[in-house]
């Protein structure tokens, strides 16, 4: 939620108080997941969202009360029962946990916000560990520790054991911009949130499939880069919303882009010779995902050549080839959906399986419906 962090930093510089509410954990079906944020200004206006509905309204009211009373921080949980769901038009049945935190300490908070914004803008990834719920005397709710991807830290959670747990988790989540929730043996809850650049998609080749993929990625808020050795296939007229269009040989174009673990690369050039060159170049980067467009036969041919040139099979196993999920895609647009679905799956930790209810769930529905019908029948 970059816009929330930007606004918080802006208000701190103006010496204006605000409250930031963060979803720190969820269970079951909820309208937002961990990391969602809402900032409430002193005039009652806000930035961001926690999913809408009466829960967001309650959090909004609590934030205004914290500002009025100069109180907080607060840890709250909301069970989205049938009454709440029906009232708000939601189909939920989960629980959401929130940290509602006022920002008073301008110097400390601004330092954290600036570190986060630098990470968003291409600097080193960072994570912030926060105690969100505790009964201990040696630590307090909203205690924070900044964790950099190289393991350096600033601040403390008030307990050396907690600091160690947070450091281990922080290094995991920082580079991917993920979140993690830790519950210690004594019940203390720690929320770790990673911050890094927007996800970046690099398209090696400016052909039909990559053009369709570019449109999807732009909609999903990926930064996109196009590399092709032909100017007519890599230009701002063809890809107007791309972060950059690069005209270069496929073995040199990646040198012009900052690549980290939040980068995804797709190789889809105009022929085997160029695919070989592009794929080998991509394998020498720290990108999280490398995909190769084409058939299994084509992939095998390229792999054989790369192994002959010294690449290891372990390295080749990390490549997604043929790329995409098996949805029966044929057209460039369908192939783009298949590929983007796989990228989202990798990024979000999914497994690609259908969400459709299975036969066991339908049996339970039928059984419950039968019981309700029997209860409605008049007794003889």
Residue 165 preceded by cis peptide, ω within 30: no
Of 97 and 272, the structure prediction assigns the larger pLDDT to 97
Residue 253: closest CA among 293, 280, 291: 280
> What pLDDT score does 83 carry?
54
Reported as a single tens digit per residue, the pLDDT across 27-74 is 887 878 899 999 999 999 999 998 777 788 889 999 999 999 999 899
DSSP 8-state symbol, 253: G
Beta strand ranges found along 36-133 (DSSP E): 37-41, 46-48, 74-79, 95-103, 126-133
Q: Does the pLDDT value for residue 89 go beyond 60?
A: no
The strand pairing partners of 133, in sequence order, are 189
> Which contacts of 312-321 are long-range, i.e. CB under 8 A and separated by 24 or more positions?
315/283, 318/290, 319/279, 319/283, 319/290, 319/291, 319/292, 320/289, 320/290, 320/291, 320/292, 321/291, 321/292, 321/294
Share of the chain above pLDDT 90, in %: 71
Q: Does the pLDDT value for residue 86 go beyond 60?
A: no
Q: Which residues have C-beta within 8 Å of that of residue 295, sequence separation ≥ 6?
A: 322
The strand pairing partners of 244, in sequence order, are 225
**Both structure tokens of 183:** 């519950």
Contact (CB, 8 A) for 41 and 18:
yes
Contact (CB, 8 A) for 268 and 210:
yes
Reported as a single tens digit per residue, the pLDDT across 192-242 is 999 998 899 999 999 999 999 999 999 999 999 999 999 999 999 999 999
Alpha carbon distance 262, 293 (integer Å): 20
Alpha carbon distance 226, 235 (integer Å): 8
Alpha carbon distance 347, 101 (integer Å): 29
Q: Report helix, strand or coil for 228.
A: strand
> What pLDDT score does 198 carry?
86
Other Cβ atoms less than 10 A from the Cβ of 183: the count is 11
CATH topology of domain 200-348: Rossmann fold (3.40.50)
Q: Does the pLDDT value for residue 77 go beyond 70?
A: yes
> What pLDDT score does 91 carry?
47
Contact (CB, 8 A) for 93 and 78:
no
How many Cα atoms sit within 13 Å of 362 on the Cβ side? 4
Domain boundaries, the chain: 2-195, 200-348
Q: Does the pLDDT value for residue 88 go beyond 60?
A: no
Contact (CB, 8 A) for 204 and 278:
yes
Alpha carbon distance 84, 55 (integer Å): 8
Q: Does the pLDDT value for residue 84 go beyond 60?
A: no
**Both structure tokens of 178:** 């993920």
Alpha carbon distance 300, 276 (integer Å): 11
Alpha carbon distance 262, 273 (integer Å): 27
């Amino acid at each position: 939620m970059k816009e929330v962090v930007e606004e918080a930093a802006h208000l701190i510089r103006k010496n204006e108080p605000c409250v930031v509410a963060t979803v720190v954990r969820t269970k079951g079906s909820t309208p937002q997941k961990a990391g969602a944020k809402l900032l409430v200004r002193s005039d009652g206006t806000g930035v961001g969202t926690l999913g809408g509905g009466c829960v967001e309204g309650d959090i909004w009211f609590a934030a205004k009360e914290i500002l009025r009373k100069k109180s907080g921080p607060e840890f709250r949980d909301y069970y989205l029962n049938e009454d709440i769901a029906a009232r708000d038009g939601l189909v939920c049945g989960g629980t959401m946990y929130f940290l509602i935190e006022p920002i008073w300490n301008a110097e400390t908070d601004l330092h954290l916000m600036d570190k986060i914004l630098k990470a968003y803008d291409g600097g080193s990834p960072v994570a912030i560990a926060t105690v969100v719920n505790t009964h201990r005397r040696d630590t307090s709710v909203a205690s924070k520790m900044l964790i950099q991807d190289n393991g350096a830290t600033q601040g403390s959670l008030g307990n050396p054991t907690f600091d160690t747990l947070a450091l281990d988790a922080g290094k995991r989540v920082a580079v991917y911009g993920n979140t993690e929730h830790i519950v210690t043996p004594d019940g203390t809850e720690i929320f770790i949130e990673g911050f890094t650049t927007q996800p970046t998609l690099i398209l090696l080749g400016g052909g039909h499939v990559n053009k369709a993929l570019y449109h999807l990625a732009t909609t999903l808020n990926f930064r996109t880069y196009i590399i092709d050795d032909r100017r007519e296939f890599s230009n701002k007229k063809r890809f107007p919303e791309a972060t950059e269009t690069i005209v270069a040989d496929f073995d040199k174009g990646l040198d012009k882009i900052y690549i980290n673990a939040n980068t995804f690369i797709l190789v889809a050039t105009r022929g085997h010779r160029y695919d070989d060159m592009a794929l080998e170049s991509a394998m020498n980067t720290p990108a999280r995902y490398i995909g190769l467009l084409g058939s299994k036969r084509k992939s095998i041919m390229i792999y054989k050549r790369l192994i002959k040139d010294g690449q290891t099979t372990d390295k080749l196993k990390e490549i997604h080839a043929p790329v995409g999920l098996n949805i029966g895609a044929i057209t460039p647009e369908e192939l783009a959906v298949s590929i983007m679905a796989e990228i989202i799956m990798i990024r979000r930790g999914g497994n690609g399986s259908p969400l459709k209810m299975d036969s066991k769930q339908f049996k339970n529905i039928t059984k419950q419906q039968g019981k309700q019908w029997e209860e409605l029948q008049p007794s003889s």
